[in-house]
Chain A
Amino acid sequence: KNEVEQSPQNLTAQEGEFITINCSYSVGISALHWLQQHPGGGIVSLFMLSSGKKKHGRLIATINIQEKHSSLHITASHPRDSAVYICAGQIQGAQKLVFGQGTRLTINP
């Protein structure tokens, strides 16, 4: 069964803190997507990765294939980073995604 588990479910931090969200996945997942969902519901694709590390601005995503684990880091967090972050596993040989439960991040000023 293809599964994606995320932690923590909720995270509250102060502005400027370093944030880490974790994602573990089962076999049969060929790539990991990190998504950001804003309060209005819109979803933005942040990263898609199948190996190594990617960086975009203050966001960093890493993946460890052997351990089937991925992390999303936010450096110098800001209140505008407050959103739900979702990791999603892409099923091997297909394009459809299996979603984690999401992490609700709140950054207080």
Chain B
Amino acid sequence: GAVVSQHPSRVICKSGTSVKIECRSLDFQATTMFWYRQFPKQSLMLMATSNEGSKATYEQGVEKDKFLINHASLTLSTLTVTSAHPEDSSFYICSAPKDSVFPYNEQFFGPGTRLTVL
């Protein structure tokens, strides 16, 4: 199966600082990656779709200036949480569909990044 990695796996930061999370597809190219947020005991919520070489598409209610997404290459997307606040504390997960290989659209998930903002 395909592998998607995330870094860091866990981060603790002070309120007001910015945090960058990386999502990499290790053995395939991903023109599209998805970023999700998951609060405790809740399911995943799609935040945005990251598109290689173009602007990300954000879901309703997600502030694009707060959650900056950069998909600079076919194997790397980054999510930067700017001016983080305690309410941004959550589990952030990325996924990438391996759409160049059958079965198309099967998605591979990163291991997640647990962000704690003090």
- Could you tell me which A residues sit within 8 Å of B by CB distance? 31, 33, 35, 40-45, 48, 86, 88, 90, 95-102
What chain A residues lie within 8 Å of B44 (beta carbons)? 43, 86, 88, 99
Once the chains bind, are B99 and A42 in contact (CB under 8 Å)? no
Give the nearest-CB partner of B57 in chain A.
Answer: A96
Interface residues on chain B, number (Cβ under 8 Å): 23
Once the chains bind, are B43 and A102 in contact (CB under 8 Å)? yes
Give the nearest-CB partner of A47 in chain B.
Answer: B106
Once the chains bind, are A41 and B93 in contact (CB under 8 Å)? yes
Once the chains bind, are A41 and B91 in contact (CB under 8 Å)? yes
Once the chains bind, are A45 and B108 in contact (CB under 8 Å)? yes
Determine how close the nearest CB of chain B comes to the CB of A85; give it in whole angstroms: 11
Give the nearest-CB partner of B113 in chain A.
Answer: A41
What chain A residues lie within 8 Å of B111 (beta carbons)? 40-42
What chain B residues lie within 8 Å of A48 (beta carbons)? 103, 105-107
Give the nearest-CB partner of A38 in chain B.
Answer: B111
When each residue 17-34 of chain B gets 1 if its CB lies under 8 Å from chain A and 0 otherwise, what string results?
A: 000000000000000101
What chain A residues lie within 8 Å of B43 (beta carbons)? 86, 99-102
B7 at the interface (CB under 8 A from A): no
B75 at the interface (CB under 8 A from A): no
What chain B residues lie within 8 Å of A44 (beta carbons)? 109
The docked-state distance in angstroms from the alpha carbon of A102 to that of B107 is 17
What chain B residues lie within 8 Å of A45 (beta carbons)? 106-109
When each residue 107-118 of chain B gets 1 if its CB lies under 8 Å from chain A and 0 otherwise, what string results?
A: 111011010000
Partner of B105, one of A31, A35, A102: A31
What chain A residues lie within 8 Å of B106 (beta carbons)? 33, 45, 48
The docked-state distance in angstroms from the alpha carbon of A48 to that of B98 is 13
User: Considering the complex, which residues of chain B in the window 1-41 have a beta carbon less than 8 Å from any beta carbon of chain A?
Assistant: 32, 34, 38
Give the nearest-CB partner of B97 in chain A.
Answer: A95
Once the chains bind, are B32 and A35 in contact (CB under 8 Å)? no
The docked-state distance in angstroms from the alpha carbon of A27 to that of B107 is 21
What chain A residues lie within 8 Å of B32 (beta carbons)? 95
Once the chains bind, are A41 and B105 in contact (CB under 8 Å)? no
B74 at the interface (CB under 8 A from A): no
Once the chains bind, are A96 and B46 in contact (CB under 8 Å)? yes
